[in-house]
Amino acid sequence: MSQVRVSLNESLRCYLARTQPAEHQQLIALRARTQMMPRAAMQITAEQGHLLAFLIRLMGARRVLELGTFTGYSTMAVSLALPADGEVIACECDEECVNVGRPFWARAGFAANIHVRIGCALESLASLERERSEPFDFVFIDADKTEYDRYYESALRLVRPGGLVVLDNTLQRGEVAKPEVRDPRTISVRELNRKISTDDRVDHVVLPIADGVTLLRRKS
């Protein structure tokens, strides 16, 4: 077994960018626009966008739920990977952030596939559960970390058997591994990680990509 651990320095990041699939021009433009904003660090990385798109294509997903849209980079990355009749339900509390992304979605030709719900994510999830609409194939969670357990439970009710749930920021800059770190965000994510590790409702794997990405497959 290899014990090699590679750190992503700038040289290696540039190499990966050259060897990854080409990033859509509107994704590049939206990423650059978002970098001008005070909370730019909330945006997922380009390699995470590639991963989400790959997973969507791999499983033939058609219906996607996203919690935490921000300016919509991940939303567009997912939309570009969907078939023509695919759709994304994107939940975000800050409409101003969503409005930053809308022109880029339109120029990419996928705005009609994205349906945004503005408001508290928990309320949007409750509405979706009440509607009892077609199950989702894929759920991406990147919202308020203190509510991750409730998002997770709702996602399992909304995703189809065999469907995929993806959680972002599950390593919390490495602080989940430090018991002395007791801020609410870290405690919430740490406790959910522990819960998932023994949850027989799902198959799961944690990937050390960006700030940690957990993939969960809902069992039949």
Query: In the 3-class helix/strand/coil scheme, how is 75-119 assigned residue by residue?
Result: HHHHHHHCCCCCEEEEEECCHHHHHHHHHHHHHHCCHHHEEEEEC
Looking at 3.40.50.720, 3.40.50.150, 1.10.287.1080, 3.40.50.300, the CATH number of the domain 22-218 comes to 3.40.50.150
The first and second tokens of residue 117, run together, are: 């719900």
pLDDT digits (tens, 9 = 90+) for 110-126: 899 999 999 999 999 99
Supply φ then ψ for residue 89, to 5 degrees. -95, 110
Helix (H) or strand (E) holding 188: helix 184-197
pLDDT digits (tens, 9 = 90+) for 70-112: 999 999 999 999 999 999 999 999 999 999 999 999 999 989 9
pTM here?
Answer: 0.93
Do residues 105 and 88 touch, judged by C-beta distance below 8 A?
A: no
pLDDT digits (tens, 9 = 90+) for 137-195: 999 999 999 999 999 999 999 999 999 999 999 999 999 999 999 999 999 999 999 99
> 46-59 and 25-34 are packed helices; what angle lies between their axes, rounded to 10 degrees?
140
Beta bridge partners of 92: 118
